Structure 1
Amino acid sequence: MDESNNTLKSSSITSGENVSFWIDSAPIISFEKPDQDIQTEVLIIGGGIAGLTTAYKLLKAGKKVVLVEDGFIGSGETGRTTAHLTCALDDRYFFLEETFGEENAKLAAESHVAAIDEIENIVTSLNIDCSFKRVNGYLFLHPTDKEENLDKEFQATQKAGLQTSVLEEIPALANAEKQRCIVFNNQAQFHILNYLKGLADAIVSLGGIIYTEAHAEDINKKGAKVNGFTFSADYIVVATNTPINDVLTMHTKQHAYRTYVIGAKIPKGQLPYSLWWDTGDQESKWVSQPYHYVRLENYDDEYDLLISGGEDHKTGQADEEGISEFERYERLEAWTRNYFPMPDDISYRWSGQVMEPVDSLGFMGKNPGDDNIYIITGDSGNGMTHTTIGAMIICDSIMGIKNKWEDLYSPSRITLKTTGDFIKEASNMASQYLDWIKGSDLKNTADLPAGEGAILSSGLNKIAVYRDYDNALKAFSAVCPHLGCIVQWNNDEKSFDCPCHGSRFDAEGIVINGPAETDLSKIHIK
C-alpha cells in the first residue's frame, strides 16, 4: 500500500476544501490505479465504510471482490463524519413506530445495536487500533421541543427493546440545570480513518483487490467502466453515499443536506467520553429538523478534541435562510460554548453531506428494478451503523441468505405515511429549476476575488466561474450533468453544489459527490 503521493488532486484527498480531524490525523490510504480490464465476482464502487465493510464480509464468505474508489480510502463522506456509533436514531422511535409499526421499530433498534456489536467484533478480531470505546449517549430537548416528546421517545425506546433510562439532569453539560435527558447505554465511538485502515489491510490479506483514484461510470448489470477499463462482475455494489447508477428513482426518496462540524481541544479529564444530541429544531423550514450532536475524541497525551456538529441545510441552499456557511460555524460555536464552555480556540471546521430519506430509514439492498446491483444510501445521521447494516444485508443477499432486516431497509419500499414530507421535499426540489431564470451572482468576472466562485449569466447560458489563487479564471457550464439544475457556489468548501439532488463539483469542475457521474463541462471565456 502506498500512503503518499506527490501529485494528489485536492478532490482525491477529501470532498471539500476543509480537512476533517480524521483525515488530518491519519495517513492517506492509497492503492494502485487500474491498469487493465478486470473480471471478478463482486465489484464494489466506493471506498468508505459501506464499501469496505461489504468487501470484508463478502471476502470472509468466500467471494472474489474488487473495490474501486474515485479518490482515496475514506476521502468521501466517511472521512467527514463525526463517527458516532449509536442506536439513538436522528428520527425519533415514536415516529418510526407510527410510520412502520411497533415490530419494525423494534427491528430498526435491533439492527443498529447489532451494527455496533459487528464493528466491535471486527475491531477485536482484526486488532484494529482505532480508539474504539463503549460510551453512554444522552438525548435532550431542543428549546423548540416539548417535554411530552421526551416521555414519548423514552416509552418508544423501551418498547423497541433498547437499554434506556431517564435522568433529571444531563451529565457534564453547563447551563442545563433541571433539563431531563434519555440515556442510551452501551453506545460507542471510534477513529473512523484508523478503522478503515484496518479493514483495508484485512481485505488485501484475504485476497481482495482495491484500486484508488479509480473513477467508475456507465454502471450496469454487467459491471462498469473504471478509468476507461472494463470491470465485469456478477454482482455490483454501489456504496457511494448517494447512488450514481440511478437517474431519478432514489432521488425522489431522499435529499442531500450539508451539516457543519467544529473541533476544539480541551484538557484531558474535563469531560467524560460520551455522546450528546438535542432533539432538533421543530420550527425549522427543513423537513429534516436539524439537530446538534457532540462527542469527545482522544487528541494527544494532554488534550481531547470536542467535536460538535449541526446547523444543517439542504445542499446548495444555504441562501434559503439567509445564513451563510461561515455564519453557520459561528452559530454552531455559540451553541457549543453554551453547553461546553471549556474550549479555547477552534482547531477544526469542516462540513459533510448527509442523505436524508423522507421516511427516516436508510436504503440498503437491491437497486429498484435490478437483480444484481445493490446500493447503500440514505444514511441520515447514522452513517456508521446504517452502512454496517447495509453490508450485513447485502452480504447475506449475495450469499443467498434471507436477512431479517432486508424488507425494512429495501430501496423499493414505498411509505405512504410520509407523503406530506415527500411532497414538501419534491416541491423544494422542483423550485430549484427556477435558477435558470434568476439573475447572475456576478456582473463581471473582473469583480471576482481570488479563491472565490460565482454563477454568471451569458444570454441563455449559465456559467460557473472560479478565480484561483494564481489569479487564473476557470469557467464551466453551471448545468449539473445529472438532471440539469443550476449549481451554486459554496464558498466554505470551495465547491459548486447542485441544489436539486446534491451533486458537488470542486473548483476545477471535477465531480466529488454523486449522483452526477461526470465533471462540469469546461468553457473558454475571455
Structure 2
Amino acid sequence: MNTTHHPGNQTSGYHLSFWSDSVAPIVYTPLDGDRQTDVVIVGAGIAGLTVAYTLLKAGKKVVVLEDGWVGSGETGRTTAHLSNALDDRYSEIERYHGAEGARIAAESHTAAIDFIERTIRKEGIACDFERLDGYLFLHPTDQPETLNQEFAACRKAGLTLHRLAQVPGLAVNVGQCLQFPNQAQFHPLKYLKGLAEAVLRLGGEIYTETRVTTVQEGSVKTAAYTVRATDVVVATNTPINDLFTIHTKQWPYRSYVVGLKIPKGSVRAALWWDTGDLKSRWVSQPYTYVRLQSLDEQHDLVLAGGHDHKTGQAAEEGIDEENRYQALIDWVKRHFPVATEVVYRWSGQVMEPLDAMAYIGKNPGNEHVYIVTGDSGNGMTHGTIAGPLLTDLILGRENNWAGLYDPARITLRVAGDYLKETGNFAAQLADYFTGSDGTEARQLSNGQGAILAVGLRKIAAYRDEQGHLHAHSAICPHLGCVVHWNADEKSFDCPCHGSRFTGTGQVINGPALNDMKEVELKTES
C-alpha cells in the first residue's frame, strides 16, 4: 500500500494518489518580480488552468500563481469521473433551481466533457481519456422510487439514459440501475500537464511555489511581489479572498479513496455510483463512487471512493479516518472478487454547496474578482465549466449558464439544510470549552499529533519523524475554530470551513491564508 509522505508542494495530503505517483511533478519557477497583466489567476488546478486557456484563446494576457505545484490541490486527489450524471440528483436540482436550472446543469456538464475531449484532440494530450457508460444504483438504505424519480428528472433535463434490471460489471446483484451512456474518464494530471503546456504556448505565464497573501480589486500580492491585473480569478478549491460570505454557503467534507489491483481486462471499464446513505448524520449523504484505471501490463486498478464525513469530524460517527479505508476495501472485494492487493489509499476535500451547484462568477461585493468553488463531487466538470463561463463574464459577453452558477444567488428551498449546517458550525465552537485529546505532549510518538489543553489555551502539538516537538495555537487563523488532528493525512483540519495545516503548522488548504501561530510549551508534560 502506498503510504509514502511527499512534500506539500506536490500534494496536499500525506498519502500520494495514483495520479501524483504516476506523473512527474509539474513544476515551474516561482514568481521572481512584480507583473502587470490582464487577468491573474490564483490556483493551477483544473479550474485555474482551464480559465487561463480559454482567456488566452480569447486574446487576454494571463498570469497563473500556484502555491504548490500544478495539480497539487484537490485536482490531484480526485478519482476523475467526467459525468453529467451529477452526485446531487436531478430531482433535487429541479427542486432547488426549477426545470430550467436542471436543464442548464445537464447542458453545461455535458458541454464540459465535450470541451475536455476537444481540447485533448486539439492539443494532442495523451491522458487516458475514454468514453464509457455510467451506472447509478440504489444504496442499501434507499428505495426504488428514488431511481424512478431520477429517471423522470433526467429525461426532463434533456439527458439520455436507460433503465437496466441489474448493474453490469458488479459481481453482486444490487438490483436495477440507471445507465448513462457517453460518460468519460481520464488521468487528471496528464491532462493538466498538456493544458499547462498549451497555456505557455499561447503566451501565458505560470509560477509555482508562489503563495498569494492578499487578493483585492486590481491586484494580488505575495510576500515579496505584486501582480496587477484588471481582473482576478480565485480558483483555489475554496476561496482565500472571502472571509465569510461564501463560507456560509458551502461546507467541507473529507472523502476517501482506495486502489486495488485486478487482472488486466477482467472487468469492463465503466463508472459506478450508488444513491447515498440515507441514514447518514450528514446533510451531504455519502455515496460510493467507482471507476477503473490501467495500472501496468498485467493489472488494472479499481478506484473506489466514499465514506465521507464533515472535515475534522470523523469522530462524530465513531469511525476514525484510517478505518474508513477498510470499509471501502471490503466493499470492493465484495463487488469485484477479482480484486487483490491494495496499492493506493488517499483522501481529498470536497466543498459541498447547499443547493447542489458550484459558485462560478463574480465574488459577491466585487466587480473584477471572480471565484470558482463549491465543486461537490463533480470538480472535473465544474472546473471545466469555469473556463468558458468566466471568459464570457470577463469579456462582457452573455452566458446563459451564469445565473445558475452565480455566487451571489440565494436559494430559499435549502433553508432546512442551511440550519443543520450552521448548527453543526456552532457546535464546533464548543471545542473551546472541552479538554484535550487525552494525550500529553511527552506521550506523542514520532509522526503523531494531538490537541492539548494547557490552561485556557488549546495547543496543536506534533512530534515529527525526527522526534522534534512542534507546538502551535490550535485556533484556526481563518475564523477562530479549534482544529482537529487528522491521524491519516497527518494534518490539523478545521471542522468549520476546511482550512488544513501540516503538523508543523503550514497552511495547505484555504480559506486560511496564514500558518498557525507558533507557541512555546515550557514542559512536555
Q: TM-score when scaled to structure 2?
A: 0.98
Q: Are 2:17 and 1:35 aligned?
A: no
Distance in 2 between residues matched to 1:273 and 1:44, nearest whole Å: 35
Say how many residue pairs are matched: 518
CA distances 1:101-135 after superposition (whole Å, capped 9, x unpaired): 11111111010000000000100100100000001
Please name the residue that 2:193 is paired with: 197
**Alignment partners' CA distance in 2, 1:118 and 1:468:** 44
Separation of aligned partners in 1, 2:456 and 2:442: 21
Q: Does 1:131 align with 2:136?
A: no
Q: Which amino acid aligns with 1:282?
A: L
2:231 paired residue number: 235
Partner deviation per Cα, 1:30-89 (whole Å, 9 max, x = no partner): 101111111111000001000000000000100000000000000000000000000011
2:351 pairs with one of 345, 349, 355: 355
Which of 447, 454, 458 is residue 458 of structure 1 equivalent to?
454
Give the SS at the match of 1:228: coil
Counterpart position of 1:5 = none
**Using the alignment, how far apart are the partners of 1:127 and 1:157 within structure 2?**
33
Distance 2:465 2:343 in 1: 24
* 2:271 corresponds to: 275
Is 1:146 the counterpart of 2:146? The answer is no
> Is there any run of 5+ residues in structure 2 with no aligned partner, and where?
none
Give the distance between the partners of 2:222 and 2:126, measured in 1 at CA: 32
SS at 1:101's partner residue? helix
The aligned runs of 1:79-478 (5 Å cut-off) are 79-176=76-173, 179-478=175-474
CA distance in 2, matches of 1:17, 1:228: 29
Asked if the contact 2:53–2:387 (Cα under 8 Å) also holds between the matched residues in 1, the reply is no
Q: After TM superposition, give the deviation of residue 443 of structure 1 in Å.
A: 4.5
* Aligned-partner SS, 2:344: strand
Give the distance between the partners of 2:172 and 2:77, measured in 1 at CA: 29
Task: Give 2:168's aligned amino acid.
Answer: P
Pairwise CA distance, 1:444 = 2.2
* Shift, 1:289, TM fit: 0.5
CA distance in 2, matches of 1:523, 1:380: 36
In structure 2, which of residues 57, 61, 76 is the aligned counterpart of residue 60 of structure 1? 57
- CA distance, structure 2, for counterparts of residue 354 and residue 273 of structure 1: 25
Aligned-partner Cα distance in 1 for 2:341–2:296: 16
Mapped to 1, the partners of 2:504 and 2:191 lie a distance apart of 31
Q: 1:187-244 CA distances to partner (integer Å, 9 max, x unpaired)?
A: 0000000000000000111110000000001110021112421111100000000000
Q: Is the 2:42–2:233 contact (alpha carbons within 8 Å) kept by the matching residues of 1?
A: yes
Q: Residue 16 of structure 1 aligns with which residue?
A: 13
Does the 8 A contact of 2:439 with 2:450 survive in 1? no
Deviation at 1:9, TM superposition (A): 7.6
Any conservation in 1 of the 2:254–2:308 contact (CA below 8 Å)?
A: yes
* Deviation (angstroms), 1:90: 0.6
Mapped partners of 1:282, 1:326: distance in 2: 23
Q: Which letter maps to 1:165?
A: H
Asked if 1 retains the 8 angstrom alpha-carbon contact of 2:261 and 2:302, the reply is yes
Question: What are the superposed Cα offsets for residues 328-379 of structure 1, whole Å, 9 maximum, x if unpaired?
Answer: 1111111222111211111000000000001111100000111100000000
Moved over 6 A (4+): none
* Contact preservation (8 Å) 1:11, 1:510: no
SS in 2 for 1:455: strand
* Local SS of the residue matching 2:437: coil
Change (3 A) 1:443 1:174: closer
Counterpart CA distance in 2 for 1:426 and 1:524 is 34
Give the TM-score normalised by the residue count of structure 1.
Answer: 0.97
Structure 1: which 5+ runs fail to align? 1-7
How far, CA to CA, are the matches of 1:265 and 1:337 in structure 2?
11
Partner of 1:4: none
Distance 1:38 1:442 in 2: 50
* Alpha-carbon offset, residue 524 of structure 1: 2.3
Instruction: Compute the displacement of 1:93 (Å).
Output: 0.5
Asked if 2 retains the 8 angstrom alpha-carbon contact of 1:477 and 1:522, the reply is yes
Question: Aligned letter for 1:110?
Answer: E
Give me the CA root mean square deviation.
1.0
- Hey, what does 2:521 align to over in structure 1? 525
Secondary structure at the aligned position of 1:371 is classed as coil
Shift of 1:164: 0.3
Contact kept? 1:34, 1:227, Cα under 8 Å: no
Asked whether the equivalents of residues 17 and 344 of structure 2 are also in contact (C-alpha less than 8 Å), the reply is yes
Moved more, 264-273 or 350-359: 264-273
Distance 2:209 2:366 in 1: 27
Q: Percent identity?
A: 56
